[in-house]
Amino acid sequence: MKEIYIVLTHTGTALSGIVKYYTKKKYTHVSIALDSDLKELYSFGRLNPYNPYKGGFIHEELNKGTYARFKNTISAVYLLTITNNQYKRICSMIEEMKEDKSRYKFNIIGLFLVSINKKYKRENRFYCAEFVKYILESSLNKKLLPEIVKPMDFLELKNISLVYEGLLMNYEYNQNNKIYETNVIA
């Protein structure tokens, strides 16, 4: 069995403020992490922390980039237990995207259409929640989330468990003090 992490955040940027206004939810961004330290944290977002207009596939780091710029980012980190084969598929998909990341673009139109409950999908274009949904559903070979997906929809996943909530810059995961029950998504 392997563990992956769904990381919900709200940075307080202008774009995240717009998303929060329309969704009325605490968190406005979602990422997927392959490790408990969140060193392998991926999503779709700003390619440059100072330029909100150019986005794409990103390897997020807690002490660099957008999260370093917005130190008061709030977060909730959730754990999912999956099979070893599912984990390998997720890693493979992310590795393929890393190797050809210039091919992937941010789905800004899709992001704004979510606010009026419309879907806009183009090949190789994602907003954060579309990306995490794509990775999870493709690797687990099952539909898990609504067609028009928002970051907070991930809380509806079966067997998701909260392991941390607070400022992202204060995140530290202690394997010995797990606050969840281990369940596997099958």
pLDDT digits (tens, 9 = 90+) for 34-69: 999 999 999 999 999 888 789 999 999 999 999 999
Please give the residue that has the higher pLDDT: either 174 or 23.
Answer: 23
Q: Report the run of H or E that residue 52 belongs to, with start and end.
A: strand 51-60
pLDDT digit string, tens, across residues 62-99: 999 999 999 999 999 999 999 999 999 999 999 999 99
β-pairing, 105-106 vs 125-126, is parallel
Among 2-6, 32-36, 105-109, the range scoring the smallest mean pLDDT is 105-109
Which two three-digit tokens encode residue 19?
A: 């998303």
Residue with the larger pLDDT of the pair 147 and 53 = 147
Output the six-digit token pair for 180: 């969840």
Token code pair at residue 41: 């944290």
> If pLDDT is split at 50, 70 and 90, which confidence band does 180 have?
very low
Of residues 115 and 2, more confidently modeled? 2
* Residue 99 DSSP one-character state: H
Residue-level pLDDT at 175: 57
Q: What distance in Å separates the CA atoms of residue 120 and residue 39, rounded to the nearest whole number?
A: 31
CATH 3.90.1720 is held by the domain 2-177: yes
Where do the domains of the chain lie?
2-177
The pLDDT confidence band at residue 21, using thresholds 50, 70 and 90, is: confident
Tell me what pLDDT residue 115 has.
85
